[in-house]
Amino acid sequence: MQAASLSYRTYAIDLWGFGDTAKDPTYYSINQQAMLLEEFMDAMGINKIAIIGHGLGAVAGLVYTERYPESVDRILAVGYPHHINAVNSRLRSSEPVELADWLLGRSPTTEAAWSEAGKSDPIAISASLEDIQDLDLPTLPDRSTRPVLLVHGKNDPAVDPPELDEVAQWGMNTHWILLEGSGRFPMLDEPGKFNRLLTDFLSLSSGESPRQLQLKDEWKRRIR
């Protein structure tokens, strides 16, 4: 967030049931989460954005992009659950604080994320996971008419990265990068590398394929 805000106007949006938003289960569907973004855009008078979404935020961002492609220039999806079977069942059964302990650990760099975890409604997590089962998650990124960059941490215990044969089927508009030293939160685990990647992605010309990124050697990933 801070890295992007140096060059761009940035907004951090809490999805329904998370952070400081209302805790109302009637808003926890993925369609309602995408509508939240649309309502925010309307209220702020924003015509077009670049979306950076993590986990459920990545799903909501891709659903929004498919629904309103004219409002999105590009999207970076971090830790995207490319298949429901790739999601660890512990996400459905554990309390938010337990999940934070599992996925974040305790360190000075995770304090802000810890404070947000305690505000989450457990029902929002389970309801969202239930709802996204109705989506065609494997093809959702590649159906986008806007450039999509997917980033996964190799050591993410919550969502398994996609297999290379699945990635190889995606078109030129979609690109996938695996960060070898990251877990669930690459922006915390490898902030320097993640921020450079984010900056390079946002600096691409509008409509340019993310495969045109001049990636540093440390995050190149060959796809056969």
Q: How confident is the model at residue 189 (pLDDT cuts 50, 70, 90)?
A: very high
| pLDDT beyond 80 at 218 | no
| pLDDT beyond 60 at 38 | yes
Higher pLDDT, 111 or 220: 111
Region 160-189: what's the mean pLDDT? 92
Mean pLDDT of the chain: 90
Q: What is the model's pLDDT at position 223?
A: 39
Q: What long-range pairs does 121-125 form, CB within 8 A, spacing at least 24? A: 121/17, 121/18, 121/23, 121/25, 121/96, 122/95, 122/96, 123/17, 123/23, 123/25, 123/28, 124/15, 124/16, 124/17, 124/18, 124/23, 124/25, 124/28, 125/17, 125/56, 125/91, 125/92, 125/96, 125/99
Q: What is the model's pLDDT at position 214?
A: 52
3-state secondary structure of 217: helix
Q: What is the CATH code of the structural domain delimited by 2-219?
A: 3.40.50.1820
Region 45-53: what's the mean pLDDT? 96
- Report domain extents, the chain: 2-219
pTM for the model stands at 0.91
